[in-house]
Chains A and B, each alone.
Chain A
Amino acid sequence: MNQPIVSVKNLSVRFGTFYAVKNVSFQVDRGEIFGFLGANGAGKTTTIRVLCGLLPATEGTVFIDNERFTRGKENLIKQKVGYMSQKFTLYDGISIAENMDFAAALHHLDKKRYEQRRTELLRFIDFREDLSLLVRDLPGGIKQEIALCVSLLHDPPIIFLDEPTAGVAPKARARFWDLIRHLAQTGKTVFVTTHYMDEAENCDRIALMRAGELIALDTPAALKKKTFQGQLYLITPKRGNVPLPDKSLFEIFEPYGRHYHALFKKETTSIQKQLAENFNITPIAPSLEDVFIRLVEGKDR
């Protein structure tokens, strides 16, 4: 049977009396793109840091590639893990080549293996520029791609990406996600946190975190289906000064710019007819953003 590459049981991380992560359990299968979603302070980064050995767990057990994270085994596990932090994997003041040399030294790669991996990875991201360019002179998207290469240099079976596309232009984000999908196709497991719900659609499974707790875990399609039993509608006012409809009619009535996403408590033709005087009502498929707002943000409101 295919063992999960990550297995987390009852993980808690406490700072003083504050629980950043509370009793979280989940598994990540080999070769999947596993998304970790949550608002700021939900415990995503703390969890990822524990899984990469950057933070000690207060309680619970963590297995990475069948090795239990225990004292004395940190370096064994760190060899199996690639980690790309939010913005800080690379040193700005040195060149791309020097950053890669340093990463190779940190991971004890011999010269031959390093050069082979470097060539493979630069080909993988299709990088043809001068490696002597300083990192600080690179555009954000390229910088993140180089950071990805640096994190993969030692060829780990799993890579943890903590908000890898934060602050990156949309086109570069799309390109970065192409790379992530390619990685997964080559058998690597990708564990990724993101704020962008459109990106999360690319994940095989998604874990939703809220206030340190895991509140949902499933495929994007299953999450949408479970969260929205009824039909979701896009409601758009026909004019600028239309009074809002009675909110008690809706289970969900969330503003999206000048539109609203709405789920009726009780869907009847007469209610729709009544609303149609002032609003355009269009049935839509729920997005992950709808799921996120309902499950994560909705409970905070």
Chain B
Amino acid sequence: MSTLLGFIKKELIALRRDPIMLAAILILPIVQVIILSQAITFEARNLRLVIDTIPDDTIMTRVYDHALGSGWFKKVAPLQKSAVEAVQAGEADVALIAPKGGLTRSLIRGEGELQILIDATNVLKAQSIEGYLQGIISGVLTQEMHISTHNPIHFSTRLLFNPELNTQWFLIPAISAVLVLMSLLTLISVSIAREKENGTIETLISAPISKYDIILGKTIPYIFVAFVNMFLIQTVGWFFFDMSFNGSFLMFVLSFMAFCLPATATAVWLATYTKTQQQAMLGLIIIIFLALMLSGAFFPRENMPEILQWISYINPLTHYTYLVRNIILKGAGWDYFAEHVGVLLLSGTIIAAIALKRFKTTL
């Protein structure tokens, strides 16, 4: 019994004296609970809805008001483009397009087709939108317009970019983005921590080289590894899940390169705080968890509280996931690319400046 107590005491003392381990054990669960409860939900909300109809289409207006009142949908700022173009450009999640002459007239005539145009790059969102809208339209027709037996008009739902709502198409780009982040962060920060732990860092800093040589030497090989990783994942998507590549390959590669800046800078920055591989791994768990949960890679960002949405906006993984998903599935254009790459480069430059300031070529 005293042996067991001795073991327990020694382990607890060791734990108490390792501040990084202690932070990972005590702070991480609190952060996890907050983030998980606030940010993670599969229910889609704040979906951006646009309608396309004639000005005095009463029923369409009623449907629109009900949709906004439901809390699931939100208005989109006035657009210069058509509803279809807005969905294609990623400025709206769904467009409701009334039959010619408006929905009201169409109902009176008992003919016409109401089109629901959904951006299906996010499968979870797309499935929710279709269900929500059909429910709202039926509700308006039965409760307010007293049309109960059968709908005199047809619904036509068009799913853009992923018509079969293929979950793999939605997941693979996000998985590839997350794996690029994980491989860069892990390989670089653990590699630097290993040099410190084994003492070989002394060999590096006793050589007549600059810290830039060390940092570049420690990051470039792993950028190459992450690049190969990314291609392997995409190749699996193309060959095994019949995923199409609709965008510019150049844009795809440039996005990767832009993402490497914040990802490698974060890895180097983390390495400046750690002396052992174990500490690096604990730091990685915290960073990867936060980056993943607040990126929109798997859980919609739109549902998060505003503060978390802001945090997720400065998260480089958010922008890289958007880029990869939209380049592959939508064939996103250069304007879309410029905005997200701009954020990546800006955040990367800030993190790199901090990491470089902290990285010392002395012990």
Residues in A lying within 8 Å of B, measured CB to CB:
49, 52-56, 74-76, 78-79, 81, 83, 85-92, 103, 106-108
Contact = CB atoms under 8 A, between A and B. Distances in A.
Interface SS of B by simple majority = loop
B199 A106 contact: no
B208 A88 contact: no
Contacts of B202: 49, 54, 83, 85, 88-89
B224 to A, nearest CB: 17
B210 A54 contact: no
A87 B207 CA distance: 17
A177 B281 CA distance: 41
A75 B209 CA distance: 7
Interface residues of B, number: 15
Interface SS of A by simple majority = loop
Given A88-B202, A89-B203, A76 B363 contact: no
18 contacts: A49-B363, A52-B206, A53-B206, A54-B205, A54-B362, A54-B363, A55-B362, A74-B361, A76-B208, A85-B199, A85-B202, A85-B203, A88-B200, A90-B203, A92-B198, A103-B207, A107-B207, A108-B208
A274 to B, nearest CB: 51
Nearest to B207: A106
A85 B204 CA distance: 11
B199 A86 contact: yes
Contacts, number: 56
Contacts of A74: 208, 361
Interface string B265-288: 000000000000000000000000
7 closest Cβ pairs, A-B complex: A88-B199, A106-B207, A75-B208, A78-B208, A83-B206, A85-B202, A79-B208
A49 B206 CA distance: 9
A56 B208 contact: no
B200 A91 contact: yes
B199 A81 contact: no
Contact of B206 (A54, A86, A108): A54
B212 to A, nearest CB: 12
A56 B362 contact: yes
Contacts of B203: 83, 85, 88-90, 103, 106
Contact of A75 (B198, B199, B204, B210): B210
A281 B205 CA distance: 53
Contacts of B362: 53-56
B363 A106 contact: no
Nearest to B202: A85
